[in-house]
Chain A
Amino acid sequence: MTEKIDRAVIQKVIKSVPMLSASANQLLQTTTDPDHDLREIVHIVKTDATLTARVLKVVNSAAFGLINEITSLDRAISYLGERLIVGIAIGDCASQLFDKELKGYEGEHGDLWRHDLRTAIASREVVAQSDLDISPDLAFTAGLLHDIGKALISDYLQGTAGEVLEKIENDEISDYLSAEEELIGFDHPRAGYELALTWKLPEAIAEVIRFHHTPAEAREEFQELVYAVHLGDNIAMMGGCGTGADSMRYKLDADYSRYITLQPNALASIMLTVNEEFVKLERSFAEAGDSNR
């Protein structure tokens, strides 16, 4: 029998992980503002020596195949694009969460990071290839953080996967989201949302974290973005990149069509691009990092 958890328990878990660094926080705030420019990003990164070093390491990793080494931060940032800068910053300071082995989902070490990275790429691609009036970079960042709540509740779900799958197959539970709620009284979007509040993440990102499986419930002004990440998440899982036993066990909300027009061929091209991008980015992050992602 698993025990139920509540907000207080989640808060305690959140307190046990390091806060976002000041620079990561500033990057998130700045890039969410539609009127920012690249100079502000450069300025923030410059104030953080560790981040600067990491950015240069990533851009010069073999995965990008640059012939001449990039030594200037300005050039590195404009080459990588702001979404990767944000990705590097968040990936580094939340590595304790991203690198967590999701035992409760019978996931393997690195699965959460890979799933989040793939969702980020796919969410961005969905926005870039449709005529949504939102920033593709914001979709990337939101995608990167969408499942962060799994790292918070995974331990409480240990030993439940087999039973959950059986219940889903027998139609006793409708999907993995309901299973989390039924088993421990808290699902991963809500847990992630608690973290978003504590970390003071931008509202748009908090909304994505909270409603990425139930986009119709998101506030109207954020719905396009939430639906884009909803699709990005599904595309990542279809690409074989999930976080364990829960992969593909969530419902697609076909009402995305209210905002996003997607023909089967367009989806196929998106999946192709996502796979290529993912292979490259995963490699560049791995080469530049010391974690075993």
Chain B
Amino acid sequence: MGQIILGVGDYGASNRPGEEVKTFALGSCVSVVLLDPKTRTVGMVHVALPESAINKAKSVEKPGYFADTGIPALLAAMAKFGCNPKGKGMVVKLCGGANVMDTNDTFQIGKRNALSIKKVLWKYGMGAVAEDLGGNFSRTVSVSVDTGEIILNSPGRPNWKL
């Protein structure tokens, strides 16, 4: 079975039957999964940080790094598969955004990532139908083109679905 593996700040999409899009070990990072039922396309972006303002040059080189540039980049990539460029009709799922234990405000990058992503989605009139966010553990996430189902795993736990 074909796999598209995404690193930190990468995004990618596929409509090939049998394929899956996967990213490893999200700590405070968040994976935004977009499913387009009309074209049967799945897309994912591995967002590491909430705002591109901290490094504009990086956001040009690797837009997927940041929530505010990553989602537009993913939508543009999915538009090449015939999806609506504004995300109309797409289903959204979110995973990741974990925090360390007893975190203070500064270290809540996971939470800020999730908030920032939701704000951007809201501008497009999109909202998540399912989410698996927060907690104190890292997640590996893969989504199947055939079913749009997400499989999550984390060391020491049985796999689960979203």
- Taking CB atoms, residues of chain A closer than 8 Å to B156 are 105-106, 161-162, 164-165, 244-245
Considering only residues 15-63 of chain B, those with a C-beta below 8 Å from chain A are 24-29, 48-51, 54-55, 58
Chain B residue numbers with a CB within 8 Å of A107 are 155
Q: List the A residue with the shortest CB-CB distance to B156.
A: A245
Q: Whole-angstrom distance between the alpha carbons of A271 and B49 in the complex?
A: 9
Which residue of chain A has the shortest Cβ distance to B154 in the bound complex? Answer: A245
B27 touching A254, Cβ below 8 Å: no
User: Which residues of chain A have C-beta atoms less than 8 A from B107's C-beta?
Assistant: 234, 238, 252, 267
B100: which of A250, A262, A268 is its contact (CB, 8 Å)? A250
Write the nearest CB–CB distance from A42 to chain B, whole angstroms.
35
Chain B residues, Cβ within 8 Å of A149: none
**Does residue A175 face the partner (Cβ distance < 8 Å to B)?**
yes
Can you name the residue of chain B whose Cβ is closest to the Cβ of A105? B155
Across the two chains, which residue of chain B brings its CB closest to A250? Answer: B101
| Complex CA distance for A241 and B7, rounded to whole angstroms | 12
Chain A: residues with Cβ within 8 Å of the partner, total of 37
- Residues from chain B with a CB closer than 8 A to the CB of A240 are 8, 24-27, 29, 138
User: Known contacts A105-B155, A240-B26; is A272 also within 8 Å of B101 by CB?
Assistant: no
Q: Mark A95-136, 1 if CB is under 8 A from B, else 0.
A: 000000000011100000000000000000000000000000
Tell yes or no: A265 within 8 A of B by CB.
Answer: yes
* A162 and B157 contact, CB distance less than 8 A: yes
A75 contacts the other chain (CB 8 A): no
B27 touches A239 (CB 8 A): yes
Query: A71: CB under 8 A from chain B?
Result: no
B57-89: which residues lie under 8 A (CB-CB) from chain A? 58, 65
Which residue of A241, A247, A254 contacts B155 across the interface (Cβ within 8 Å)? A247
B101 touches A237 (CB 8 A): no
Extra contacts, 6 of them, besides A162-B156, A268-B54 (Cβ < 8 A), are A240-B138, A247-B138, A262-B106, A264-B106, A264-B112, A267-B106
CB distance from A271 to the nearest CB of B (A): 7
Could you say which residues of chain B place their CB within 8 Å of the CB of A162?
156-157
User: Is B98 engaged at the interface, CB distance under 8 Å to the other chain?
Assistant: yes
5 A-B pairs whose Cβ atoms sit less than 8 Å apart in the complex: A164-B156, A238-B99, A239-B8, A249-B136, A251-B102
Bound CA–CA A202/B104 (angstroms)? 32
A268 to B9, CA, bound (A): 14
Whether, in the assembled complex, A248 has its beta carbon less than 8 Å from a beta carbon of chain B, the answer is: yes
C-alpha spacing A154/B154, complex, angstroms? 18
**A269 on interface, CB distance cutoff 8 Å:** yes
The answer on a CB contact under 8 Å between A244 and B155 is yes
Question: A245 touching B155 by the CB < 8 A rule?
Answer: yes
Is there an interface contact between B58 and A272, defined as CB atoms closer than 8 Å?
A: yes
The residue in chain A whose Cβ has the minimal distance to the Cβ of B53 is A265
- Over the window 215-246 of chain A, the binary record of Cβ atoms lying under 8 Å from chain B Cβ atoms (1 yes, 0 no) is 00000000000000000001001111110110
Known: A240-B26, A267-B107, A275-B8. A254 touches B102 (CB 8 A): yes
- Enumerate chain B residues within 8 angstroms of A265, measured Cβ to Cβ: 54
Instruction: Report chain A residues within 8 Å CB of B103.
Output: 252
CB of B95 closer than 8 Å to a CB of A: no
Chain A positions 162 through 186: 1 when the CB is less than 8 Å from some CB of chain B, otherwise 0: 1011001000000100000000000
Q: Which residues on B sit within 8 Å (CB–CB) of A105? A: 155-156
Known contacts A248-B136, A251-B100; is A241 also within 8 Å of B105 by CB? no
Q: Is A2 an interface residue (CB 8 A)?
A: no
A271 to B25, CA, bound (A): 15
**Contact of B12 with A by CB under 8 A:** no
Task: Verify A268–B109 contact, CB threshold 8 A.
Answer: yes
Residues of A near B155 (CB, < 8 A) are 105-107, 161, 244-245, 247
Is A16 on the interface with B (CB-CB < 8 A)? no
**In-complex Cβ contact of A252 among B29, B54, B65, B102 (8 A):** B102
Measured in the bound complex, the distance between the Cα atoms of B154 and A244 in whole Å is 8
CB of A72 closer than 8 Å to a CB of B: no
User: How far, in whole Å, are A105 and B27 apart by their CA atoms in the complex?
Assistant: 17
- Shortest distance from the beta carbon of A75 to any chain B beta carbon, whole Å: 29
Given A238-B109, A263-B106, A268-B109: A252 and B48 interface contact (C-beta under 8 Å):
no
